[in-house]
Chain A
Amino acid sequence: MSRPADVMTALLTAGAARRVRALATAEVRLLVRNRTAMFTALALPVLTVILLSGIGFGEETDLPLGAVVVTMLAGFALLYVVYYNLVSAYVARREDLVLKRLRVGELRDAEILAGTALPSVVVAVAQVVLTAVVAAPAFGMDVPPNALLAVLGVVGGVVMFVLLAAASTAFTRNVEMAQVSTLPVLLLCMGSLIFSGVVVPADSVPDRVRDVAQFIPLTPIVDLIQLGLTGQTPDGDTVGFAASWAEAAAPLAVMAAWIAIGAWALRRWFRWEPRG
């Protein structure tokens, strides 16, 4: 894998777009033909959010329910559709020697990873957008003070969890093991969702928990989306457009750090073929 700048140039050229599209088209077919992956991608995030709302999570917070639903759905879409699905997909392609075969063609390494990820990413983002457009007004949500931050959070979250998924294949020997090997990240991130003020009111979370939780990969994403949609900071203050940028600095830094860590781990440990 070359430097991030090269990767970006590569992905932006016409040839790269054509190659990624060809691979992504095949991956869409594979996703549609894989029932487990389809369920994970299409139903699991929505079901989880419905289930959590059903047992009363999120009601005690002073956030508008619409924003809570969008944030939770974005979180679970990133975890299930992007992270979990892609760990399974990358490992399956590696163990079937598909990655090895792809690597002798014209596709660059980054394009192989991107093309494989694209269908899951599109499904996840579409769910978030759909929820924001359809569900949020239904549950009540004011005009977001800084929607750009929410978009940044979702885009950054996608990049972060694609990279973390690719890096996690290093300790995932086969597709079955993905169910176990993804648990550390999944459980940590679900903890972060619960303690980030979306599910439990921000002021009832002990400061020490909050201090640690802000470094969990999903936390900055959740913070950015919340801040962008409602102007509410993790401390419970409400800020306007200008002040929201200052409040976003910390989560943006943590997000950038996790993206860097994911890219570094990927380059260091990612294997293109089964262990010999």
Chain B
Amino acid sequence: MAEAVEVSDVRRSYGGYEAVRGVTFSVARGELFALLGTNGAGKTSTLEVVEGLARPGGGRVRVLGRDPWADRAAVRPRIGVMLQQGGFPADLTVTETAAMWAGTLTAPRPVAEALELVDLAHRAGVAVKQLSGGERRRLDLALAVLGRPDVLFLDEPTTGLDPESRRNTWELVRTLLDDGVTVLLTTHYLDEAEELADRLAIMHQGRIVRTGTVAEVVASQPATVSFALPPSVPREWLPELPGALVVDDGHRVEVHTDTMQATLTGLLLWARDHDVELRELSARPASLEQAFLAVASSEEKETERAEVAAR
């Protein structure tokens, strides 16, 4: 079956500034794809093009096999969108807002059901201007799912939500995924991506710099073994550890390794044989956070280098 979302070499510029510089990815039906990235990386700019809100400056977008900009009328009834920043008239109540939106849709859910899904039923009669930031966010989500979409676009759906509301949102997204809905979301919460994403991409400065499953993206990063040596044991006494880089900030030693088991075996055998106590010993597999930070900082270095070269 065709992919639900296909984005190939998409570009978008604001005036002279190119915010999206050739982005390519695809999302299979029923899959959740997460776009991660630093502030200003171009996630929202990319998403708006996929939603059909803006025409791409270059490249090609297909949503359910159609051009979301040119075929807007055909695509819109099948997608649901939650913008990073969207507004509602302040003087309407929650129910009035949802009812208005439902009136514009081809096959909406009952309004009460949608409000129930995001836990806003008890606020139904309250004016939008009296909602808290998180409640407003959830109203936005309710509207995004109101039309029973096949593809859902969520731009930072849980930003500003309390931990419980965030869990509820995750539950809702999982239920939708179980029903076969395709989801493309952006988030700054790496645990959210780890929890929900089948595949993800990390964007930086308008480009995708890592993509794959969480495991694949994390696999590019070394695991970390760290410990403190007693003052009586100089660092030079440490053995050669296989394929590992040793970082030492004075008292703590950090070993970055692609082969955590071999490194640990070598280290622990050496400690036993030399009767050395490894204090605060810890071994951590690579994390998504680490992969994310590595992307952000390595690219920064590249920019600095480019700037130096330019001077």
Interface residues, chain A, with chain B CB atoms under 8 Å away:
15, 18-19, 21-23, 25-26, 29-30, 33-34, 93, 96-98, 100-108, 276
* B91 with A30: CB separation less than 8 A: yes
27 pairs, A vs B, C-beta closer than 8 Å: A18-B104, A23-B104, A25-B100, A26-B97, A26-B100, A29-B92, A34-B91, A93-B87, A96-B87, A97-B85, A98-B88, A98-B89, A100-B53, A100-B83, A101-B88, A101-B143, A102-B104, A104-B51, A104-B53, A104-B76, A104-B83, A105-B81, A105-B105, A106-B76, A106-B77, A108-B73, A276-B14
The CA-CA distance from A21 to B99 in the complex, in Å, is 12
Q: Which residue of B is nearest A99, CB measured?
A: B87
Closest Cβ of chain A to B11, distance in Å, is: 18
Q: What does the 1/0 interface line of B111-152 toward A look like (CB < 8 Å)?
A: 000000000000000000000000000001001000100000
Q: How many residues on chain B are close to A (CB under 8 Å)? A: 31
Q: Please name 10 further chain A to chain B contacts, defined as beta carbons within 8 Å, in addition to the given A22-B104, A97-B87, sorted by A numbering.
A: A22-B100, A23-B100, A96-B87, A97-B85, A98-B87, A100-B85, A101-B143, A104-B53, A105-B81, A106-B77
Main secondary structure on A side of the interface with B: helix
Closest Cβ of chain A to B102, distance in Å, is: 7
* A26 with B86: CB separation less than 8 A: no
The interface residues of chain A lying within 8 Å CB-to-CB of B103 are 18-19, 21-23, 25
The interface residues of chain B lying within 8 Å CB-to-CB of A108 are 72-73
The CA-CA distance from A67 to B86 in the complex, in Å, is 47
* B89 with A93: CB separation less than 8 A: yes
Closest Cβ of chain A to B151, distance in Å, is: 12
A18, A26, A30, A98 pick with most chain B CB within 10 angstroms = A26
The CA-CA distance from A98 to B76 in the complex, in Å, is 17
The CA-CA distance from A33 to B301 in the complex, in Å, is 55
Closest 7 CB pairs of A and B: A22-B103, A97-B87, A101-B86, A26-B100, A104-B81, A96-B87, A19-B104
Q: Which residue of B is nearest A10, CB measured?
A: B73
The CA-CA distance from A30 to B99 in the complex, in Å, is 14
Query: CB within 8 Å of A: which of B66-85?
Result: 72-73, 76-77, 81, 83, 85
B96 lies within 8 A of chain A by Cβ: yes
